[in-house]
Copies of this chain bind each other. A is one copy, B any other.
Amino acid sequence: MGELITYAENTWCPGCGNFGILKAFQEAVRRLEAEGIGREKLFISSGIGCHGKIADYLKLNGFYSIHGRSMATMEGAKIANPDLKVIAFVGDGDAMGEGIAHMIFAAKRNIDITVIMHDNRVYGLTTGQFTPTSVLGYKGPSTPKGSIEEPLNPLTMMLEAGATFVARGYSAKTDHLADIIAQAIMHDGFSFVDVLQPCVIFFNMYEHYNEVVTPLESVPADRDEAVRLARLEDRLPIGVFYKAEKPEYCRSLYGDWNPVAQRMPLEERRAAVTRLVTP
């Protein structure tokens, strides 16, 4: 599947969890293609950070956006062309820090975009400062004596905001992750995939994750159960935590229309304008 990858030199650190995400995503694309969703329908984006480099590596249409905004960029793309399957790759600093408002509102409005969060619990590319998901006591260059804040839980936060598809994957379990990603993209509404992604340089959690990560056997019965499971720390469940149906934003906004593909002919538009400027 080499042709899904560009010629850009990969500059992730050897062993970085991002490789697993890249692999899983390619696998997910293959599965989608098998289901008839061609890659030309995909539109991807990413924030700035180590995670963001995936936008350089994946040979898919998209927008390498700015720190914390790729989900907003993708909401705009979706609103303009709802036929696209849009995916935002985000970092934990990116999405839970700088861009948390966009995350909450994308979930709230249940817009059909997929957010894949490379959750390494550090600002990787800016040399390891603590992020909103960093553990209490985490020592980074802005918190040399250890972080004094308790982390946010991305899953329960997104559930609280109204997300209709919430899942967690692990970059080292690429097959499982590919499956989740494919499901997330297929889901008709806002999907959030939190990916445990060890950063071998600043917060290497491989050993810990390998020990505690436990796949869910099935989707939990309801949101309360999803929340309970998402809060577990000693046994760290991965899989789909929550999946629900709710009206999708673009359809609620303008029904079965596509702003760029079904543009009103300019003549009609001008006739409409003429009506509005006629006394």
Contacts and interface: CB of A to CB of B under 8 A. Distances in A.
B253 A148 contact: yes
B101 A149 contact: no
Given A100-B100, A100-B101, A109 B152 contact: no
Interface string A140-176: 0000000011101100110011100000000000000
A149 B104 CA distance: 12
A126 interface: no
A160 B31 CA distance: 35
A160 B149 contact: no
Contact count band on A: 20 to 34
Contacts of A100: 100-101, 104
A2 to B, nearest CB: 40
B252 A108 contact: no
Contacts of A241: none
Given A101-B100, A104-B100, A247 B161 contact: no
A152 B104 contact: yes
Given A100-B101, A101-B100, A108 B161 contact: no
Contacts of A152: 104, 108, 161-162
